[in-house]
């Protein structure tokens, strides 16, 4: 039960580009876990019509959901600039709550500053960080205040923590790593595909070049050697760049590239594929990577954020040094030369990931939040 000093936990998510993404799974599962323990939960998320099904489920679980609007015209944007964004007034009715800010990069800064202004205790959860989302000097000063004033900072990978510390030029000793949820069984046992005549690669990710980098992978598969080898790539997911990727594959005659759309049954994906390939430019710690390893599949990933933290290059997978075609080609060539070892590497990956990721990440994160509530009382 929540400590009597706090009337509940308030969660503000800064995500605004799409109604729902993997970045929302950790805080939402923690919210369900806290509700099951009797903790009142208030949520602030961007308005979408219709809302994501997950928001409806949180409402049904008893969470109070506030949907903030985004300025849709010049007048509204000017009004926000002159009189302040009304979204933050939500905090005025929650001064007796502990606030969790779920963010990407440093975009939780303003929420942190608004909490400091109201003397509301808060923590920041960073789901992703990126080299090319670098704050300017004025924004860095604000971010230092926001991250420094938080009771705790959570990151989904050590790589994200180190990058944010570098971007704001300040160490964060009050920080720790938490793990994201996944969409396969903890004890998943997916048999290795019987047909090894074609090496089946799967890229399970939102079709978003800016973050997930599928364009780099398509560029590699244009090379003559990959056209000639028995290898097939299936892109799972949907997103803003799907039409562009399809057109690229058609224009360049990539007969070994297929599009399978969004799927719910991830374990079924791994019944048909040998390796996950994730050419990300930006990440936290990808759910797809954890899921593939739990299903006994090796992964080929770029050395971005937490991608390489949970696998060992050449032992449980392969790491491309950078998100560019040359590095991906080099890593894919290493994979190809050791294709007879992929099944044993997948078995090693399955054992390794279970040492790093809890069976119920949402519950584990809820435990961390409860510890913070108790810490705040003692201080």
pLDDT tens column, 51-61: 999 999 999 99
* DSSP class per residue in 135-195: --HHHHHHHHHHHHHSSEEEESSHHHHHHHHHHHT---TTEEE-----SS-TT--PPPPS-
Looking at residue 317, what is its pLDDT? Answer: 98
What is the three-class DSSP state of 60?
helix
**For tokens 């109604």, what's the residue?**
19
Q: 8-181+359-378, superfamily in CATH? A: Glycogen Phosphorylase B; (3.40.50.2000)
Most confident of 47-51, 79-83, 375-379: 47-51
Query: Each residue of 107-126: pLDDT tens digit?
Result: 999 999 999 999 999 999 99
Confidence of residue 17 (pLDDT cuts 50, 70, 90): confident
Angle, CA of 227, 265 and 27, to the nearest 5°: 110
Looking at residue 225, what is its pLDDT? Answer: 97
Report the predicted TM-score, pTM, of the whole model to 2 decimal places: 0.89
Angle, CA of 8, 13 and 17, to the nearest 5°: 160
Looking at residue 83, what is its pLDDT? Answer: 44
Mean of the pLDDT values across residues 291-302? 98
Residue 343 pLDDT exceeds 60 = yes
Dist CA 335 CA 329 (whole Å): 10
What is the three-class DSSP state of 220?
helix
Angle, CA of 99, 103 and 107, to the nearest 5°: 110
Looking at residue 277, what is its pLDDT? Answer: 98
Q: In what order do the strands lie in the sheet with 97-103?
A: 64-68, 41-46, 8-13, 97-103, 122-126, 152-155, 175-177
Looking at residue 9, what is its pLDDT? Answer: 97
* Phi, then psi, of 219 in degrees rounded to 5: -65, -40
The answer to whether the CB of 12 falls within 8 A of the CB of 97 is no
Looking at residue 73, what is its pLDDT? Answer: 52
Looking at residue 76, what is its pLDDT? Answer: 47
Confidence of residue 69 (pLDDT cuts 50, 70, 90): confident
Query: Each residue of 199-221: pLDDT tens digit?
Result: 999 999 999 999 999 999 999 99
Angle, CA of 96, 101 and 107, to the nearest 5°: 140
- For residue 322, how far is the Cα from the chain centroid? 19
Architecture of domain 199-356: 3-Layer(aba) Sandwich (3.40)
Looking at residue 379, what is its pLDDT? Answer: 37
According to CATH, where is 3.40.50.2000 located in the chain?
8-181+359-378, 199-356
Looking at residue 177, what is its pLDDT? Answer: 96
Looking at residue 378, what is its pLDDT? Answer: 40
The answer to whether the CB of 182 falls within 8 A of the CB of 361 is yes
Query: Each residue of 254-277: pLDDT tens digit?
Result: 999 999 999 999 999 999 999 999
Query: Each residue of 20-58: pLDDT tens digit?
Result: 888 899 999 999 999 999 999 999 999 998 999 999 999
Confidence of residue 374 (pLDDT cuts 50, 70, 90): confident
Least trusted range by pLDDT, from 76-80, 236-240, 298-302:
76-80
Q: What percent of the chain has pLDDT over 70?
A: 94
Length of the chain in residues, anyone?
379
**For tokens 């606030």, what's the residue?**
99
Confidence of residue 346 (pLDDT cuts 50, 70, 90): very high
Mean of the pLDDT values across residues 248-254? 97
- Of 177, 188, 189, 209, nearest in space to 357 by CA: 177
Residue 18 pLDDT exceeds 90 = no
**59 contact partners, CB below 8 Å, separation of at least 6:** 65
């Amino acid at each position: 039960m929540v400590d009597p000093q706090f009337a509940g936990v308030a969660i503000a998510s800064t995500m605004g580009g799409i109604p729902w993404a993997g970045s929302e799974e950790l805080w939402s599962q923690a919210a369900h876990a806290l509700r099951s323990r009797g903790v009142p939960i208030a949520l602030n998320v961007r308005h979408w019509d219709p809302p994501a099904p997950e928001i409806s489920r949180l409402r049904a679980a008893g969470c109070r959901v506030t949907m903030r609007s985004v300025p849709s015209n010049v007048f509204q944007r000017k009004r926000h600039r002159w009189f302040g964004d009304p979204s933050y007034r939500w905090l005025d009715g929650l001064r007796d709550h502990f606030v969790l800010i779920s963010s990407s990069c440093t975009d939780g800064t303003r929420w942190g500053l608004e909490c400091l202004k109201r003397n509301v205790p808060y923590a920041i959860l960073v789901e992703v960080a990126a080299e090319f989302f670098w704050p300017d000097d004025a924004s860095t000063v604000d971010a230092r205040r926001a991250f420094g004033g938080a009771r705790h900072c959570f990151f989904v990978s050590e790589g994200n923590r180190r990058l944010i510390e570098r971007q704001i030029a300040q160490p964060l000793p009050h920080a720790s790593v938490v793990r994201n949820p996944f969409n396969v069984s903890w004890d998943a046992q997916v048999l290795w595909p019987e047909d090894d005549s074609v090496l089946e690669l799967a890229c399970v990710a939102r079709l978003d070049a800016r973050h997930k980098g599928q364009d780099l992978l398509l560029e590699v598969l244009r090379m003559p050697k990959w056209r000639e080898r028995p290898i097939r790539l299936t892109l799972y997911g949907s997103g803003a760049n799907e039409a562009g990727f399809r057109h690229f594959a058609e224009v360049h005659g990539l007969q070994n590239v297929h599009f399978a759309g969004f799927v719910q049954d991830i374990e079924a994906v791994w019944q048909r594929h040998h390796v996950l390939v994730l050419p990300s430019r930006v990440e936290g710690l990808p759910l797809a990577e954890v899921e593939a390893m739990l299903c006994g599949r090796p992964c080929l990933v770029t050395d971005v954020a937490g991608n390489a933290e949970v696998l060992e290059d050449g032992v449980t997978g392969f790491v491309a040094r950078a998100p560019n075609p040359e590095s991906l080609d080099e890593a894919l060539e290493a994979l190809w030369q050791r294709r007879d070892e992929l099944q044993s590497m997948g078995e090693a990956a399955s054992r390794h990931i279970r040492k790093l990721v809890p069976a119920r990440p949402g519950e584990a994160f809820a435990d961390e939040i409860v510890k913070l509530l108790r810490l705040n009382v003692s201080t």
